Chain A
Amino acid sequence: MFQQRIATLIPWFHSAINAGFFGVFLALGFPAHANPQAPDVFMQQLSNELMEVVRKDPTVKSGDMQKLSNLVDVKVLPNVNFQRMTASAVGPAWRKATPEQQKRLQEEFKMLLVRSYAGALSQAKETNTIVVKGFKGSAEDNEVVVRSEIRGGNEPIPLDYRLEKNPDAPGGWMIYNFNVLGVWLVDNYRTQFSQEINAKGLDGLIATLAERNKSNSRK
């Protein structure tokens, strides 16, 4: 009887996913699939995976920025909500941007960050470990802060993440801001962007970012 009911639900379930109603489905309280893992467990896994790559992948030591960026694309980006990061860094002007401008902003910002992240990764030492120290909030919250530390130098480096729950993400969570040594990245870009927007408008900001990316990739 029960099994039958499940069986009748399955086709609907599939079409619901296809239609992108997954979130609605969850919100209605159906246990669509097992609860997503706890955010700190997710971040610890992701961190361990990355450090494993730092230790084993010769690409990291080669310092080849192109290859390193590809690595970040594959390993890290599926877990990052770049649209939200960009929207938040651009601020109120985001809403006035055309879809085309939003797309360009997102692409250029992504390129800028991936490159600098790749650079930071190439500086990581084999002895470094990342220890997740837990998270603020409860596993039921849609947004949490995960706190971690890079160890292995003589001083621990605090590294925190803001995560949002996203059932479509590979790990059930998406990063939308992060913090190194107490500095939230998106917050720090807000002034950078608003200065450009005030001086040259949205297209000016896009042009500046594109130019910066071009000159960075020439190095």
Chain B
Amino acid sequence: MPRLSSILRLWLATLLLALVGCASTSGGNPLDPFEATNRKIDAFNESVDQAVLKPVAKSYQDYTPNLLQSTVKNFFGNLRDMWSVVNNGLQLKPKETVETGARVVVNSTVGLYGLIDVGTHIGLQRYTADFGQTLGYWGMPSGPYVVLPLLGPSTARDTAALLVDRHGDPWSQINPVASRNQGVALRLVDKRAQFLGMDDRLNEVALDKYSFVRDAYLQKRRAEVRRGPPSDVDELEEKNNDLDYKNIPNKQ
């Protein structure tokens, strides 16, 4: 398992190559100027997934006890909640900060260091937030879409924010490094296992999986950044770029 920093160095190198290599290609999505390179990295990720990650996640799901799986999921979920509290706070969202914070308090104590998700049972919802979202909230544009080696869809902003997210992740403080990496691997497998049915479905509905995932990711991140306290959001202000339906001849 390579250390995260070496992965980061690898993608930085890739990104630089991409910048130099194909600064002016494609007539596709304006947010995806590096489409050619992104597609290559995406194909690489896909093959790693098919060869290693997916089979491992499948066996994890099939051959380990459900109780173990949910405990692992709860534990890492709780760590993630801690960082979400910080980011919800930085985005000045009182309800999200307090409710997610209450989850962390309850789950870390009554829930035995996060192994049991008591919070959900008593109706406390999780509001996930990360540093890329916080940057977006304060007005930083997402920049171009990038596909990171092994880590998948991201944007320039979200990628830069990963460095901060990593420091905000309590697990990154675990020593020795060997146990930390084992945890990172377990967390990855757990995450992948949660999405097992999903890639089959994607293959069914997408005509071109790469652009389907890209457009969905960009839309989703935009919504996450825009989503303030629920009452503040005005979805109608968002441009409804539906066709002018009245001009469509109504033939049937």
B165 in the interface (beta carbon within 8 A): no
How many pairs of residues, A versus B, come closer than 8 Å at their CB atoms? Answer: 108
Q: List residues of chain A with CB within 8 A of the CB of B234.
A: 136
Q: How many Å lie between the Cα of A116 and that of B197 in the bound state?
A: 12
How many A residues, CB 8 Å from partner? 53
- CB A146 to nearest CB in B, in angstroms, measures 10
A102 near B243 with CB under 8 A, answer: no
B223 and A115: CB pair below 8 A? no
Among A84, A88, A212, which residue has its beta carbon within 8 angstroms of that of B204? Answer: A212
> A209: nearest residue on chain B (CB-CB)?
B207
A162 touches B223 (CB 8 A): no
Interface segment out of the listed A38-46, A54-62, A181-189: A181-189
* A145 beta carbon closer than 8 Å to chain B: yes
Chain B residue numbers with a CB within 8 Å of A193 are 207
Can you name the residue of chain A whose Cβ is closest to the Cβ of B209? A192
CB distance A154 to B125 under 8 Å? Answer: yes
| Beta-carbon contact of B204 and A116 below 8 Å | yes
User: Is B49 in contact with chain A by the CB < 8 A criterion?
Assistant: no
Distance, CA A143 to CA B207, complexed state (A): 29
Contact B204 A216 (CB under 8 A): yes
Indicate whether A137 reaches chain B with its CB closer than 8 angstroms: yes
Bound Cα distance A9, B174 (Å): 80
**Distance in angstroms between the alpha carbons of A160 and B249 in the assembled complex:** 28
Interface locus among A24-32, A66-74, A91-99: A91-99
Interface residues of A in 69-91 (CB under 8 A from B): 83-84, 87-88, 91
Residues of A within 8 A of B215 (CB): 183, 187-188, 191
Interface mask (B203-225 → A, CB under 8 Å = 1, otherwise 0): 01111100110011001111110
In contact, B248 and A192 (Cβ under 8 angstroms): no
Nearest-neighbor residue (CB-CB) of B218 within chain A: A183
Q: Provide the residues of chain B in CB contact with A119, threshold 8 Å.
A: 201, 204
Contact of B207 among A91, A92, A133, A196 (CB under 8 A): A196
Q: Which residues of B contact A143 (CB under 8 A)?
A: 240
**How distant is B198 from chain A, measured CB to nearest CB, in Å?**
10
Chain A to chain B: the 10 pairs with minimum beta-carbon distance, closest first: A182-B223, A99-B251, A154-B120, A182-B220, A192-B207, A183-B219, A136-B236, A145-B235, A116-B205, A155-B126
Interface residues of B, Cβ cutoff 8 Å to A: 28-29, 77, 117, 119-120, 125-128, 197, 201, 204-208, 211-212, 215-216, 219-224, 227, 230, 234-236, 240-243, 245, 247-249, 251-252
17 contacts between A and B (CB under 8 A): A91-B243, A95-B249, A102-B251, A136-B236, A144-B236, A154-B77, A154-B125, A160-B235, A177-B242, A181-B223, A182-B222, A183-B220, A188-B215, A191-B29, A191-B211, A192-B206, A212-B207
With A116-B201, A188-B215, A219-B204 known, 12 other A-B pairs at CB within 8 A are A83-B252, A92-B243, A94-B248, A99-B251, A112-B205, A120-B201, A133-B230, A154-B117, A162-B240, A188-B219, A192-B208, A216-B204
